[in-house]
Structure 1
């Protein structure tokens, strides 16, 4: 079977250059980075280098990067860390209704501890209005958290506008950039954020590694308590192998010459040509990630359509059980009708996608439909 991987937003393959960077640390660099002897110093140097690689991608100081186990941990530390560190100032957090569960569920947890959470609506394209954010601010607001780009439909949020609002009000601002890193610019000063989340497995690094950018002066409590690792901000002996991998992946992401955007546009043109009014694009093509197409096949069921083309690895936007359709929360908030939404498939391209694979995917979809 010719396998076609179009689910890069879910997880990416590990780049060969990342694998090559990891290999030496399977044999060496085994010392504890906190140890003062030669073995520990070798490990420490590897971590320092990786921290610089991540910082260069974000345009920040290396001391502003801490390594985590992934995007979920980074999001948890951002939300819970600010809540606990700044609860003397207030208990109000603002986010949107289309955030990833790694934001939504920590917010629900914090509500149980007395936090007040405001969930802001989005428009039919999945985009939040900065004015709605500003209107929701109270004298108790301590944190605003808005994802940089949506993982399902790819909509890019107006982070710069929101950050200006937050900065003028003296409110800490976090963005979950797990989906945007390596796809669109993510310089922290340009975005104006105080906290930013990275997930390695969205960036051609292994699963189980991530990072959190914390701007100097931002008050954030530790999420994992123990010894004084990561400058006292994240306890636990550092995962050197994975940290080296993330550093290399971020170095590779500095190269923005990817042809993914052109290939995505070609895919969209081919879909329109062959399926016309049978399909709907969820989101605006000009305002979504350059690798993402969230397509609804009208009147179809996404799960059944993907099952009929097992060669294609992609994600659906609705679950169907015993004839009952449940749209994803994102599609619901975008006011997508059930008849349209139940046929949703997210195609997400990546570094290793080829034109031949896109042509093959089109032919397979034509045969199925």
Structure 2
């Protein structure tokens, strides 16, 4: 059976053959545990993980030590919201988000509300699906500890004024989390310039493997602290326990490297294809 043309890249993307090629040795030959530091197999795995961490950090203009590996963006969103709330609850329990966030953020926020752990403000959006930074500022109270607004909407593609929101958050001394899953690798992302303190993103949206993602956690100005949501071996500097899936991480790193190299050209190519498709349909 001949498969139809795939037009659902906001849900997932096919793996780039170059990504698969980079991953293969870590399934069969270099299969060590990155936490095994007393033999060569572990050293090779750890080296591969740290190289991938650097590739990922470079794409978003971060430090490699600010990258925490997770199973995907949903876990990253959960870790950000729950981890911040648990760590900063003495300061306050108010969270600001928007009504059009991905369910990984909305359902997490609603769950925290239902358990009586947080109060949440769900901001409206304009006719284009965009969050107004002024609405964010007006919603801030003395109990606000976190603002969570996505970069690019997964349904309609709206790009929010994240840098403006980041400035407001910084001026008020409030942490800013951004789910950038639909933006990373497709548009330039600079966590420093955008004032982002925590950022969720994943591999399979950028031609990498499924099952691995990351949470960017700022380490200075301010140093962000989050409470781990999984107990175990203390992996990822104590923020996310569990044996690291080295092949997936290697693939994630390679995908980020390719995005950095080819993002501008890809964007131009896809814009032409979109415009042609739109013109033919209309």
The structure with the largest strand share of the pair is 1
Aligned with residue 230 of structure 2, among 224, 228, 234: 224
Structure 1 residues 81-160: aligned runs within 5 Å: 81-111=83-113, 112-160=115-163
1:177 corresponding residue in structure 2: 180
Please list the CA deviations of residues 197-251 of structure 1 after superposition, one character each: whole Å capped at 9, or x if unmatched: 1111111111111011000011211122211211111100111011001000100
Structure 1 residues 326-365: aligned runs within 5 Å: none
* Cα RMSD for the two superposed structures: 1.0
Q: State the alpha-carbon separation in 1 of the partners of residues 160 and 12 from structure 2.
A: 21
Q: State the alpha-carbon separation in 2 of the partners of residues 262 and 187 from structure 1.
A: 25
Please list the CA deviations of residues 25-54 of structure 1 after superposition, one character each: whole Å capped at 9, or x if unmatched: 111222221222111101100100000000
Q: State the alpha-carbon separation in 1 of the partners of residues 5 and 33 from structure 2.
A: 41
Query: 1:2 deviation in Å?
Result: 5.6
Aligned with residue 247 of structure 2, among 237, 241, 245: 241
Query: 1:265 deviation in Å?
Result: 1.9
What are the ranges of 5 or more consecutive residues in structure 1 without an aligned counterpart? 273-369
Q: State the alpha-carbon separation in 2 of the partners of residues 142 and 2 from structure 1.
A: 48
User: Which structure has the higher relative contact order (CA within 8 Å, separation 6+)?
Assistant: 2
SS in 2 for 1:205: coil
What are the ranges of 5 or more consecutive residues in structure 2 without an aligned counterpart? none
Larger mean Cα displacement after TM superposition, 174-183 or 105-114: 105-114
1:59 corresponding residue in structure 2: 61
Q: State the alpha-carbon separation in 2 of the partners of residues 268 and 192 from structure 1.
A: 35
Query: 1:191 deviation in Å?
Result: 1.5
Query: 1:75 deviation in Å?
Result: 0.4
2:271 corresponding residue in structure 1: 261
Q: State the alpha-carbon separation in 1 of the partners of residues 232 and 218 from structure 2.
A: 22
SS in 2 for 1:202: coil
Query: Is residue 166 of structure 2 the alignment partner of residue 163 of structure 1?
Result: yes
- TM-score where L is the length of structure 2: 0.94
State the number of aligned residues.
Answer: 272
Query: 1:184 deviation in Å?
Result: 0.6
Please list the CA deviations of residues 258-290 of structure 1 after superposition, one character each: whole Å capped at 9, or x if unmatched: 111221122222222xxxxxxxxxxxxxxxxxx
2:81 corresponding residue in structure 1: 79
1:210 corresponding residue in structure 2: 213
SS in 1 for 2:192: helix
Q: Which structure: larger Rg?
A: 1
Q: State the alpha-carbon separation in 2 of the partners of residues 2 and 65 from structure 1.
A: 37
- TM-score where L is the length of structure 1: 0.72
SS in 1 for 2:128: coil
